[in-house]
């Protein structure tokens, strides 16, 4: 039986235009299916490879490597840490500027200062 398979493989590979018969054809603007069905082509390819022959119509496989995208916070981590470090260097200057420009809060209601302001007015000189 192995000899008959090998003979069949050799005969099939000798079919003229076998590559064209394995592909669909465009005829008068209409696509026609392949003359040699896909299941039969797969069986013929398998028998060819088992017989030790090389299947001449093997498609070249592309090797595609797409690195994993990951999470947004992981991708932007380095930029975020750099921004934080830059802002921390400016922090003493910002704190000093805030303390210089912060508005004077009125005294809390019920405090001694609040009572003195009620009695003597806000325009009195302070210590």
Q: pTM of the prediction?
A: 0.42
Quick one: three-class SS letters along 28-79?
A: CCEEECCCCCHHHHHHHHHHHHHCCCCCCCCCCCCCCCCCCCCCHHHHCHHH
Q: Which tokens is 80 given?
A: 């975020």
Reported as a single tens digit per residue, the pLDDT across 12-55 is: 666 777 888 888 889 999 999 988 888 988 988 898 888 888 88
């Amino acid at each position: 039986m192995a000899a008959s398979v090998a003979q069949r493989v050799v005969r099939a590979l000798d079919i003229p235009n076998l590559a064209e018969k394995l592909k669909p054809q465009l005829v008068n603007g209409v696509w026609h299916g392949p003359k040699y069905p896909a299941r039969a082509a797969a069986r013929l390819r398998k028998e060819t490879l088992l017989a030790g022959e090389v299947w001449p119509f093997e498609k070249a496989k592309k090797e595609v490597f797409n690195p994993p995208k990951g999470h947004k916070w992981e991708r932007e981590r380095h930029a975020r840490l750099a921004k934080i470090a830059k802002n921390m260097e400016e922090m003493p200057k910002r704190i000093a500027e805030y303390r210089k420009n912060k508005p004077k809060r009125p005294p809390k209601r019920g405090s001694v200062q609040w009572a003195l302001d009620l009695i003597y007015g806000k325009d009195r000189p302070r210590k």
